[in-house]
Amino acid sequence: MPTSLKDTTILHNGVKMPWLGLGVFKVTEVEEVIQSVKAAIRNGYISIDTAAIYGNEEGVGQAIKESGVPREELFITSKVWNSDQGYETTLKAFETSLNKLGLDYLDLYLIHWPGKDKYKETWKALEKLYKDGRVRAIGVSNFQIHHLEDLISSAEIKPMVNQVEYHPHLTQKELQAFCKKEGIQLEAWSPLKQGQLLNEQILVDIAHKYNKSVAQVILRWDLQHGVVTIPKSIKEHRIIENADVFDFELTSEDMEKIDALNQDSRAGSHPDTMTVGF
């Protein structure tokens, strides 16, 4: 089990990916992005997750530069948006993201949503970027088992990561088992279900037992399930609190209680019906 913010899981290509990072979804105010990313890095975070559609890659890049932390010590993720899917358009979108971030390479580049008919072409572009050394690892986001099976059937390189909505109301057991079997690291976006889980009584009781917050219990549950997690916050005290999850361990009984909260309910779109941008 990870014992600090610097601890990593090893992806199937040997690249080390931090277990816990900062997500910046919906943080569009430039100064807010810069301050939250700088606060995270100042407090020991080394992984930052952004995406083209978030509209904040420039702010993330500026914060990285101003942090004074050497680039090679950080793990930076971005994603190609739906309207840029396709081979040539993905290669162009990657250059745009890199320029906005002010970086020479990415640590992880993901296909943001599967859509219907372009993800294989898009994946070929990611394989090229990977082979050219422009990105250290490539993966997907919001892919269900059937998308992964279809992609893997013709891919030269298997995805290293699948970033999906994952929290106690959406435990995705079958998807997790499939990813584990295929050597694909599962990563949780919206681990706190955009705040909707914070008053869940069972979680409140478990948090009280460990003298932790509900958010900390959920993030610890992610880690104990072997899932990388990227909680979003713009407040420094929350950023610090979210990372304070390495000094306790949930019992198997508590893990089962949290698992039992599953409702297969989402805060975001279902991957099979997501059509925005396509």
Spell out a b/e string for 86-111, using b for 16 or more CB atoms within 10 Å of the CB, else e.
Answer: bbebbbebbeebbebbebebbbbbbb
User: Which long-range contacts (C-beta less than 8 Å, at least 24 apart) are formed by 152-157?
Assistant: 152/182, 154/120, 155/120, 155/123, 155/127, 156/127, 157/127, 157/130
- Amino acid letter at 258? I
Give the span between the Cα atoms of 17 and 139, in whole angstroms.
Answer: 12
Q: Is-catalytic flag, 54?
A: yes
Give the span between the Cα atoms of 24 and 32, in whole angstroms.
Answer: 10
Residue tagged active-site, from 45, 54, 109, 166: 54
What amino acid positions are annotated as catalytic residues? 54
